[in-house]
Amino acid sequence: MSTLPPNTFKQALAARQPLIGLWCNFAFLPTVECLAHAGFDWLLLDMEHTQSTLDTISTQLLALRGTPSAAVVRVPSNDMAFIKRTLDAGTRNLMVPNIRSAAEALDAVSYTRFAPEGLRGVAGSTRGGGYTRYTDYMARANDEIALILQIESKEALAELDAICRVPGVDAVFIGPSDLAASLGYRGQSGHPVVQAAIRQAIATGVAAGKAVGILTVDGKGEPYLDQGATMVGVGSDLHLLVAAADALAARFKTN
């Protein structure tokens, strides 16, 4: 028997420590295993825009155990049953996409908490519960889940302060591509209007005392860190592969 380990990633979010991460698009264990010792603070295992299933995520979570990189899992949607199963599979840092209101944020929090604080179905015989070996799991599980909500629409921007102040929300994470589309600049996340909205969103989150995150796939995360974001994704496995492959091929294919 043992006790539930503390969630050090959640603690780092609360302390507003700079946390540099990488997005993982490939539904493949060896790529995550390969990246696990690169030095990133976190790796995002994506289920919204990839072919990953719960089985895929379960094996990738194992690949990250005992490595310097924390696993953050993005579920496809704010769905109670899916979130429950993802947490049971051992996810401790959960990202939920496209949260548009404080009411939706409250729902997300409730799906990650056992009653009476929430609606998560109770089970301790899962990987998340150490297969019954975490003797304090029921007492501490609610407090050891880090919940990160994505801000990706103009509706979310309007309610961002209220979203940040929902108890149980550990961080808000800006999605530049969806936000750009919502603001009328699809495919133009670098547009001045979109960047101004991002700056304001970061400022709002920081003022509310919340950790703020954002993804940039081109490695240029410094401006967002300077603005106060602390959970910054600076690339993805897919973009790294494409850039390296294209550059290598171009060296030898000159015509």
Residues with a catalytic annotation lie at 49
State in Å, rounded, how far the first CA of the chain is from the last one.
Answer: 64
Q: How many Å apart are CA 96 and CA 91, to the nearest integer?
A: 13
Q: How many Å apart are CA 180 and CA 153, to the nearest integer?
A: 8
Backbone angles phi, psi at 104, to 5 degrees: -65, -35
- Of 169, 146, 135, whose CA–CA distance to 44 is shortest? 146
**Tokens 């028997």 map to which residue?**
1
Question: Are 192 and 185 in contact, with CB atoms under 8 Å apart?
Answer: no
- Of 46, 48, 47, 39, whose CA–CA distance to 21 is shortest? 39
For residue 234, give the DSSP letter: E
Q: How many Å apart are CA 203 and CA 205, to the nearest integer?
A: 6
